[in-house]
């Protein structure tokens, strides 16, 4: 049975993707900072995919001890999904006013933690011909006012992914823009606004599962381009 680690899997896209991969026959290791929410997510995933192995490891991906715990719990891995992310300062400030401490924290979560997890799991991924899926954003490539902190961090993650793909031909490396989705983080970017017109995270899960199942070439993808017809 193939095994996947999904960070930030208690809600939003990570939670929806966990359902999709469990249904596709993956055993899962999932994490999130809120232990109660993570345990509830794990129970729901098991209920939706009877027989699925789901190991929940609560913690913060920026904590080296937690990353080591994930490595110990997961063992050999076929798919590493770096989904855990932070919006950074909110309401979204202009770069001229961006608190540097908040910017540093955004880079810790959105760039350094994924790279650190990749380093931990890379030997096993090489052996198994595995894959890394990094969740990114169109804010990494488009100049949206107020999105400088988040966008800069995601741009750094994209280039790290691009270089990793060139350096590691034995594995697949995908960085995917899922599009605007109806998630808590997206709502935090638009306080007081109705975002019910955004699609639910589950709508893009078939695109991400397709990457994993068909082992498409390494590269940048938009989920909308990958949804099976």
In this predicted structure, what is the pLDDT of residue 229? 56
Mean pLDDT of all residues belonging to the chain: 95
pTM of the predicted structure, to 2 decimals: 0.96
Mean pLDDT of 84-105: 96
Band the pLDDT of 228: cuts 50, 70, 90: low
pLDDT (tens digit per residue) in 172-192: 999 999 988 787 777 776 788
Mean pLDDT of the 86-107 span: 96
Kindly state the tokens that stand for 113: 């933690």
Distance CA 15, CA 147 (A): 24
The mean pLDDT value for 84-113 works out to 96
What's the average model confidence in pLDDT over 95-118? 98
Hey, where are the domains in the chain? 3-226
The answer to whether residue 100 scores a pLDDT higher than 80 is yes
Q: What percent of the chain has pLDDT over 70?
A: 99
Superfamily the domain 3-226 falls into: NAD(P)-binding Rossmann-like Domain (3.40.50.720)
How many Å apart are CA 126 and CA 24, to the nearest integer?
22
* Model confidence pLDDT, tens digit, residues 44-77: 999 999 999 999 999 999 999 999 999 999 999 9
3-state SS record for the chain? CCEEEECCCCCHHHHHHHHHHHHCCCEEEECCCCHHHHHHHHHHHHHHCCCCCEEECCCCCCCHHHHHHHHHHHCCCCEEEECCCCCCCCCCCCHHHCCHHHHHHHHHHHHHHHHHHHHHHHHHHHHHCCEEEEECCHHHCCCCCCCHHHHHHHHHHHHHHHHHHHHCCCCEEEEEECCCCCCHHHHHHCCCCCCCCCCCHHHHHHHHHHHHHHCCCCEEEEHHHHCCC
């Amino acid at each position: 049975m193939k095994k996947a680690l999904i960070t930030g899997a208690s809600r939003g896209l990570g939670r929806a993707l966990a359902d999709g991969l469990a249904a596709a026959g993956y055993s899962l290791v999932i994490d999130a900072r809120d232990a109660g929410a993570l345990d509830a997510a794990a129970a729901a995933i098991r209920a939706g995919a009877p027989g699925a192995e789901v190991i929940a490891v609560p913690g913060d991906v920026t904590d080296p001890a937690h990353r080591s715990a994930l490595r110990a719990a997961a063992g050999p891995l076929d798919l590493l999904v770096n989904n855990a992310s932070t919006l950074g300062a909110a309401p979204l400030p202009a770069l001229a006013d961006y608190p540097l401490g908040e910017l540093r924290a955004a880079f810790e979560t959105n760039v350094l933690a994924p790279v650190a997890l990749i380093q931990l799991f890379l030997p096993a991924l090489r052996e198994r011909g595995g894959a890394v899926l990094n969740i990114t954003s169109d804010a990494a490539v488009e100049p949206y006012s107020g999105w400088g902190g988040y966008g800069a961090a995601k741009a750094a993650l994209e280039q790290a992914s691009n270089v990793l793909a060139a350096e590691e031909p034995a594995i697949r490396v995908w960085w995917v823009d899922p599009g605007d989705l109806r998630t808590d983080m997206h709502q935090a970017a638009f306080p007081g606004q109705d975002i019910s017109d955004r699609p639910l995270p589950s709508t893009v899960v078939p695109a991400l599962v397709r990457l994993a199942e068909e082992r498409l070439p390494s590269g940048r993808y938009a989920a909308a381009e990958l949804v099976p017809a």
